[in-house]
Amino acid sequence: MDLYYSLTSPYARIVRASLIEKQLHDRTGHHVVDPWSDDAGLMQVNPATRVPTLVTDDGVSITESLLIVHFLEATWPDPELIPQGRRAQVLGQTGLAVGIIDAGVQTLLAKRFGPEGADQGVLGQRRARTITSTLDRLESQPPEAGGDLGALAVAVALQYLDFRYADLAWREQRPALTRWHEQVARRDSLSETVPR
Ligand SMILES: N[C@@H](CCC(=O)N[C@@H](CS)C(=O)NCC(=O)O)C(=O)O
């Protein structure tokens, strides 16, 4: 199979970390692309020209990070990214993480492509609040420090904030989340996919 991704996309990073956790990294063809440059190879496999896009061994294109993880989990169940005994918690944490990522990415896009001040309006304020209140929720209930999907997605979300919103200083007032992150960030799946 083949994965199309950029080195900075947090959505793609969730898939890349999942491939490493499942030891599928080496059986995957890696295509680093810039989705914003209308890359011809990416357009061919995904008319929306977005990353991540996974092309299966049968030549089927799967888009949307969590659908790709669903495919990986169903096809290669071991090790489990969504452990049966903690399914609801892990999916709940994954949703919180994607909420932070969506809010961060949309704010960035508003700054880059929107009219002046687009990130400061009502929507911008809602997205900023989403990030802060979700961080506070995670501070009171950090995920388990393993390699499940919830932990990977939360770590990816936090490191995306470090990468794009360093001024936010999310660690201030959040000691439990800070400690949790220090521990989980050491996993190969995360240390090998740090955005750059
Ligand atoms: N919901 C999608 C979001 C994917 C996404 O927005 N990817 C961005 C990069 S972070 C992209 O490819 N943007 C290019 C575009 O929207 O044209 C997912 O979970 O995979």
Which domains does the chain carry?
Answer: 2-75 (3.40.30.10), 84-187 (1.20.1050.10)
pLDDT in tens, 110-151: 999 988 887 788 999 999 999 999 999 999 999 998 999 999
Residue 100 and residue 134 in contact, taking contact as beta carbons nearer than 8 Å: yes
What does DSSP assign to residue 82? S
Q: Quick one: pLDDT at residue 117? A: 83
The whole-chain average pLDDT of the chain stands at 96
Please, which pLDDT band fits residue 157 given cuts at 50, 70 and 90?
A: very high
Q: Quick one: pLDDT at residue 130? A: 98
Nearest 5 degrees, angle CA 126-CA 131-CA 137?
Answer: 120
Ligand 1 surroundings by CB, under 6 angstroms: 9, 11, 35-36, 49-52, 64-65, 105
Residue 61 and residue 45 in contact, taking contact as beta carbons nearer than 8 Å: yes
Cα(142)–Cα(157) distance, rounded to whole angstroms?
13
pLDDT in tens, 173-182: 999 999 999 9
Measured in Å, residue 27 CA sits from the centre of ligand 1 at 24
Q: What is the 3-state secondary structure (H, E, C) of 141-174?
A: CCCCCCCCHHHHHHHHHHHHHHHHCHHHCCCCCC
Q: Quick one: pLDDT at residue 115? A: 87
Q: How many residues are given for the chain?
A: 196
SS3 category, 40 = helix
Please, which pLDDT band fits residue 75 given cuts at 50, 70 and 90?
A: very high
Measured in Å, residue 195 CA sits from the centre of ligand 1 at 15
Nearest to 162 by CA among 13, 33, 5, 4: 13
In the block, tokens 């800070």 appear at 178
The ligand 1 atom at the shortest distance from the C-alpha of residue 15 is: 20
Question: How many angstroms separate the Cα of 62 from the Cα of each of 70, 77, 91, 122, 189?
Answer: 10, 18, 20, 34, 21
Q: Quick one: pLDDT at residue 114? A: 87
- Model pTM score: 0.97
Q: Quick one: pLDDT at residue 106? A: 96
pLDDT in tens, 26-49: 999 999 999 999 999 999 999 999
